[in-house]
Structure 1
Amino acid sequence: MEAALIVDLPNTSTAAVSKKLVALRSDTGAMALSRVLTLVVVVDEAEAEDAIEVANDASRQHPCRIIVVVGSNRRGAARLDGQIRVGGDAGASEVVVLRLYGRLASHGRAVVTPLLLADSPIVAWWPAEAPKDPSTDPIGEMAQRRITDAARTQGPPKTVLKRLAKSYAPGDTDLAWSRITLWRGLLTAALDQPPFEPVTEALVVAAPDSPSGELLAGWLASRLRCPVSLARSKSGSGIISVRLERKSGTVDLVRPEDGSTSMLRQVGQPDRTLALPHRSDAECLADELRRLDPDEVYEDALTKGFPTLTSARRTASEAVKAGAAPSPAEAERTTQRLRRAARVAGSSAMVEKRPMPEDGADTETVKAAAAAKLAEVKERRS
C-alpha cells in the first residue's frame, strides 16, 4: 500500500492547519471534493492510533474528513500540535490529528469548528470513554449523530446503558448496538416463516460484560412485547444464544463461543447452519455512518425494552440444565454434523458421470479429463 503523506505541525494554530490543508489539496488534486461528512473522534492518547485505523477502514465506504481530538496533558501551557495525513493508510479520507495541551484541552469544540467541512453533516465518535450526556457535550451538541461504545466505557454494562438511556437524545447510537445487527437479521428472518405465532417469552444467554446482550434482549422486549430474561455465560464470551418461545415450540439461535457459524432450530424446519461472524469495529462504525437520521429502533430497545428486562439470576449452564436455553455443546455437534453432510452432498453433486476413456487411451487423455473435473469443482466452489 502506498505510504500516507504525513505533515506534522507542532505548536501550531487551527488557521495554520486549515491553510496547510488547502495547500495539500492544491498539490494533490481535488482530494476533498467527494467528502460526504466530518467525523470527529474524541479519544485519549493511548487509544488514538487504534481509533484512527478503525476510522480509516470505515471511511473507505464513507469518504470523510476525520478530525481526531486527542486529550493530552492538561498541565502546563496551552498548546496545539497538529498532524495531517492523506493517502495510504488514511483510507478514503483526510485525517487531521489535533493534540491539545493545557487549558486548550477543555476547548475541543473551538479548535475543531474552523476545520469542519462546510455544509456537511457532523458525526461525533467516542471510541472509549464517553461523556455522561453525549448530546450536551460541547462536541456532541454540534453533531447530527453521536456514537458511543458501551463495551469500552468504564462501569458495569447495565449501569452504562442506564445512563445512556436516561440521557438519550435523537441521534445517539452505540457500537454495542451495531454489533448485534446480524443477530437481529437472522431472528427477524426466522419469525417471518410459518407458523406465524406470537412469541410468549424469550431468553438471551450472554456474558455479564456484554452490553450487546442487554441491547439484544431490550430489542426483543420492545419488538415482541413479551417477557424477556437473561442468563449469564462466562465473561468475554459475548452473546451465546437466543430462545423464543411460541405455542408450537421454540426458535433457537445458537452461536458456540468463539465460533463464526450459528445453528438455527425451529419447529417444522430442518436444522440449519448460518454465518454469524463477530463484527469488527470498522464494520460497525461504517454501519453507523451510513445513516444520519435518528435510529428509532435503537431508541426503543434502549429506553423502552431494556428497562423491562428480568435480571440475570441464573447462569447459562443452569438455564441449559433446566431446559430453558439451548445447549451450545449440542449446537456445536449439530453444526459439525450438518457441515459434514453438506460436504458429502457437495462432493456427490460434483462427481458426475463422464464418458470414461476407452481401453488403451493415452495418459494425456486421462490427465485432461481429470483437469476438466478439477476446473469444474473450482468453478462451482467459487
Structure 2
Amino acid sequence: MSIIQHDVIIIGAGAAGLMCAASAGQRKRSVLVLDKGKRPGRKILISGGGRCNFTNYTVEPQNYLSQNPHFVKSALSQYTQWDFLGLIAKHDIAFHERDHGQLFCDDSAKQIVDLLLRECADTEKVKYQYQIDIISIERLDNTGFIVHTNNGVYQCESLVVASGGLSMPRLGATPFGWKIAEQFGLKVIQPQAALVPFTLDGKEKELCNLTGTALPVRVSCNNQSFTEALLFTHRGVSGPAILQISSYWNVGDTVVVDWLPNLDLADLLVQAIDKNPAQELKTMLSKVLPKRLVEIFIGLGDVTNCLLRQLTQKQIDHIAMTLHHWILKPNGTEGYRTAEATLGGVDTNYLSSKTMEARDVPGLFFVGECMDVTGHLGGYNFQWAWSSGWVAGLNV
C-alpha cells in the first residue's frame, strides 16, 4: 500500500484542530485533518444552545485550571480574544454579549464552523478525511510519523493531537488522545468531568421538588466562589454557579451555598420584625426566596417557623448564618454525559507552553481539551482551542 505524504496531520476536526489547520495552512504547510465523525465542528454546533459562546471579552490565566497554572500564559498572549474577534469581524458574523463578557453568535454556531472551514480553504493547503479510524501510529527516527488508518497510510513531519476530552460522549468523545500521549511517554493526569451538574441524595434530594426553578446564589468550595444562577433539576442542581464550582469539587467535598448573596438577612429580619411583628417567618422569607424552598428549609429543620416577634437576636443570627452558609453535600455529578469540559489530560509539564510541542518527542503536538487545561464557563474553553491551535499551527 502506498504511503501518502503531508507536512502535518491533525487528528480531530474540532475547534482546536481546525484552528491549527488554518494556522499551518497559512504557512503553506500541507495539512491533512483526520476525524472519525461524519462532519467537522460537531461540539461547536451544539454549544451555547446552538449559538456558540465563542470567547469572552475578558480572558485571563486565572480563568483556567491546570496543575501547571502558568502554562496557558504564552498561548493566550500569542493569540488573544481580540485576534479571534478580528476573524469574527472579517467574516461579518453578528454577535452579542451576555453576562460576564460572554460572546455569542446572533444567528448560529454553524457560522463559527463555516468561518474555520473558509479560513482553511483560503490557504488551499488543507484536506480532510472523515469517518476515519486510526489503527496505529509509528514514530520514524526524527523524521516524523506514519499513521495507519482504515482508509490508507499517511506520513507526516508533524502530528497534532486535537481529539478532545471525554465530555459529551454522544458526539463520539474517546480517550484516544491520551493513549497517543502515553504511547510516546507523556504522563496523563487522571481525567474527570468538569462544568457538570451535581446529583443529590438523602435529605437534600428534597431540593429536586423545585425542578425548573432558578435563583441567584453564591457557591463556594476549596477557596473558590462564584455568584451566578443555580437551577434545580430532577436529579440535583445545575446552572452556571454549580457548573463553575464543579470544576473545583472533589468527591466527599461540601459546597457552601449563600441563598441570598445580595442581601443581609439578619438586617432584613430586624426590619421585618419592626414593620410586621405578627407575620410568620416563612411568609417573610418567601418574599425573598421561592416559597417551596423555604418550606424545604423548615421541613429539614434548618429553619423553625414562628411569628417574627418571637425571634431572639440569637435566633436571627442563626437563621442568617444558616441561609448565608448552607452546607450542600453532593452525591456526585452527572458525569461526562452532560459535562461541558474535561479536567485533567496530557500533563502540560511535558509540553512547550510556547509551541504546544512535546518536549521529548519532536514533531508531536497537543492542542485543545485533550491537555490538562480547563477553562471556566463563559467562552474560555473555546478561546483555549483558538489560542493553542493557532500557536501549534505556527510551529508544525
Q: TM-score range by the shorter chain?
A: under 0.3
Higher-strand-fraction structure: 2
Higher-helix-fraction structure: 1
TM-score w.r.t. the length of structure 1 is 0.26
Higher relative contact order (Cα pairs below 8 Å, separated by 6+ residues): 2
* Higher radius of gyration, 1 or 2: 1
TM-score w.r.t. the length of structure 2 is 0.25
